C-alpha cells in the first residue's frame, strides 16, 4: 500500500459536500461511498472521507466542532503552479466555498486559503525554488 494521508471530515450534507469537492477536482471513489459517506481522492497521496455527523461520531467520543466557528485543523493542498492555485480559488468561489485568504505571493511561496461549505479550512500552496537555489550535485 502506498503512503497516503486519509482525512476524515464531518459534514452536514454528504451529497452537497461531495458535489463541492468534485467541483474542485477531487475524484469520488464509489467503493468507499454511500448515503453516509463519500470517499474522495486528491492525486495519489490524499484521501478525504466526507462523513455525516452521525457516522463520524462512531469514530470518536469527542464533541464534533462546528468548523464554521471553531478551528481544529488547517489542511494544505500543494499545487504545481501559481495558475493552478488561482484556478482552485476560482473553482472554490464558483462551487459555493468561501475564500478566507486570497492567493498571494510571499517570497518563493504563493497561496491562500478557503473554507468548504462546512467550514473546514484548506490552504493552497505553490512553492517555487528560492532565488539562486541550485542542486548541490
pLDDT in tens, 61-90: 999 999 999 998 999 999 999 999 999 999
Residue 2 has pLDDT above 70, yes or no: no
Kind of pairing between the strands at 74-78 and 46-52: unpaired
pLDDT number for residue 137: 44
Please say whether the beta carbons of 6 and 49 come within 8 A. Answer: yes
pLDDT number for residue 23: 98
pTM of the model: 0.87
How confident is the model over 20-33, as pLDDT tens digits? 999 999 999 999 99
Residue 19 has pLDDT above 50, yes or no: yes
β strands within 2-128, DSSP E? 5-11, 27-34, 37-42, 46-52, 74-78, 98-106, 109-115, 121-127
Is 91 exposed, middle or buried, given 0-12, 13-18 or 19+ CB atoms closer than 10 A? Answer: middle
Residue 91 grid coordinates = 473553482
Residue 40 grid coordinates = 474522495
Q: What is the Cα 92 distance to its own chain's centre?
A: 10
Amino acid at each position: 500500500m502506498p503512503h497516503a494521508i486519509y482525512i476524515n471530515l464531518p459534514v452536514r450534507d454528504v451529497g452537497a459536500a461531495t458535489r463541492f469537492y468534485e467541483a474542485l477536482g477531487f475524484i469520488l471513489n464509489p467503493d468507499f461511498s454511500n448515503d453516509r459517506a463519500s470517499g474522495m481522492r486528491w492525486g495519489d497521496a490524499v484521501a478525504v472521507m466526507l462523513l455525516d455527523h452521525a457516522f463520524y461520531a462512531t469514530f470518536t467520543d469527542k464533541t464534533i466542532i462546528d468548523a464554521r466557528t471553531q478551528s481544529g485543523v488547517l489542511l494544505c493542498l500543494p499545487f504545481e503552479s501559481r495558475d493552478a492555485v488561482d484556478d482552485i480559488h476560482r473553482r472554490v468561489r464558483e462551487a459555493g466555498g468561501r475564500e478566507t485568504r486570497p492567493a498571494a505571493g510571499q517570497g518563493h511561496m504563493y497561496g491562500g486559503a478557503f473554507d468548504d461549505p462546512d467550514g473546514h479550512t484548506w490552504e493552497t500552496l505553490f512553492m517555487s525554488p528560492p532565488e539562486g537555489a541550485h542542486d548541490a550535485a
